[in-house]
Structures are given as structure tokens and as C-alpha cells.
């Protein structure tokens, strides 16, 4: 299974495979045709409330991760996560995020869950 995480502002690469935007909001300053996004499953992204809570600095990454994993247990999100796992079994999947710190973001939580 090949899953990786990249910033969406990096140019697409031939070995990206399925390119999945995992942010709720479209990245600023990026044209949709230039991004080459294949899927944008918004139900896989953190809720607006959780995203605002985390970015306001009200809690640490581990608490954010716990809350986000709980949100991913919802039926629609769980089904989308299973679909991404299936896609990754068939070829490379690249998770795309605009986050400046992907290693401490929801995208990294998804990456870990897909690799486990």
C-alpha cells in the first residue's frame, strides 16, 4: 500500500497516483485546474468546530488527534476512509494539504490511519 502526504502547493509528480485534497477549504491562491485534484472528500476533513478549536490554540495536537479520530468514526467518514484504503491497495494515493505543518495536522492523522 502506497500512501504519502504532500503540500498541495508542490507541483504534481507522475508517481502521485490518486491525488486527494484532504482540507475542508480550497487552498488560497491555487487554481483548481493547476492543482490536479482527483478527489475532495470533505466528509473526511475535521469539522469546522474542531478545526477552529485547534487553530485557536485551545488544545494540543494529541487532544486534536483524539477528537478527530472520533469524528472519523461517523458512518460517512468511515466509508470514505475505507474507500481510500481500497484505492491505496490498487495504486499510489497522495494526500494533499495546504497546511504549513503537515506533520501536526489532520492530514498526518489520516496518513497514519491509512498506513495502519
pLDDT score of 30: 93
> Do 101 and 25 touch, CB atoms closer than 8 A?
no
Strands, DSSP E only, in the chain?
A: 3-7, 18-21, 93-97
Averaged pLDDT of the chain: 94
State whether residue 50 is helix, strand or coil.
helix
Taking the C-alpha atoms of residue 18 and residue 37, their distance in angstroms, rounded to an integer, is 8
Tell me the torsion sign for CA atoms 79, 95, 85, 33.
Answer: positive
Residues 6+ apart with CB under 8 A from 30: 8, 9, 98
Block residue for cell numbers 487554481: 31
pLDDT tens-digit map of 44-73: 999 999 999 998 887 899 999 999 999 999
Parse the chain into domains and list their residue ranges. Answer: 3-115
Contact predicate 80/43, CB 8 Å: yes
Give the strand order in the sheet containing 3-7. 3-7, 93-97, 18-21
Global pTM reads 0.93
Amino acid at each position: 500500500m502506497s500512501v504519502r502526504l504532500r503540500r498541495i502547493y508542490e507541483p504534481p509528480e507522475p508517481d502521485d497516483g490518486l491525488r486527494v485534497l484532504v482540507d475542508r477549504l480550497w487552498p488560497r491562491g491555487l487554481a483548481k485546474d493547476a492543482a490536479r485534484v482527483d478527489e475532495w472528500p470533505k466528509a473526511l476533513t475535521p469539522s469546522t468546530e474542531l478545526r477552529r478549536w485547534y487553530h485557536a490554540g485551545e488544545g494540543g495536537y494529541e487532544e486534536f488527534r483524539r477528537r478527530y479520530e472520533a469524528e472519523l468514526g461517523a458512518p460517512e467518514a468511515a466509508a470514505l476512509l475505507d474507500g481510500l484504503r481500497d484505492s491505496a491497495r490498487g495504486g499510489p494515493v497522495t494526500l494533499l494539504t495546504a497546511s504549513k505543518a503537515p506533520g501536526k495536522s489532520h492530514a498526518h492523522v489520516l496518513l497514519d490511519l491509512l498506513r495502519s
